[in-house]
Amino acid sequence: MCGKRETKSRGKSMNIKKVFTEDRAVSPVIGVILMVAITVILAAVIGTFVLNLGQEVQQSSPQATFDINSTDLTDGSNATITHTNGDSIETANLYANGDIYNSSNSVTSFKRSISGDTMSAGESFEVEANSDSGTISVTWEATDGSSSATLQTFDY
Does some domain include residue 141? yes
Does some domain include residue 36? no
Average pLDDT along the chain: 83
Tell me the pLDDT band of 73, cut-offs 50, 70 and 90.
confident
Q: What is the mean pLDDT of residues 90-110?
A: 90
Nearest Cα neighbor of 130 from 105, 98, 152, 88 is: 98
CATH of the domain at 151: 2.60.40
Q: What is the mean pLDDT of residues 61-75?
A: 87
Decide: 85 and 64 in contact? Cβ < 8 Å.
yes
Q: What is the mean pLDDT of residues 54-61?
A: 63
Q: What is the mean pLDDT of residues 54-83?
A: 82
Q: pLDDT at position 11, please?
A: 47
pTM of this prediction? Answer: 0.59
Q: What is the C-alpha to C-alpha distance for residues 77 and 87, in angstroms, rounded to an integer?
A: 28
Task: Please give the tally of structural domains in the chain.
Answer: 1
CA torsion angle 110 112 114 116 (round to 10): 50
Decide: 94 and 117 in contact? Cβ < 8 Å.
no
Domain of residue 89, residue span: 64-155
Does some domain include residue 145? yes
Nearest Cα neighbor of 120 from 70, 82, 151, 80 is: 82
Q: pLDDT at position 27, please?
A: 76
pLDDT(144) > 90: no
Does some domain include residue 4? no
pLDDT(76) > 90: no
Does some domain include residue 104? yes
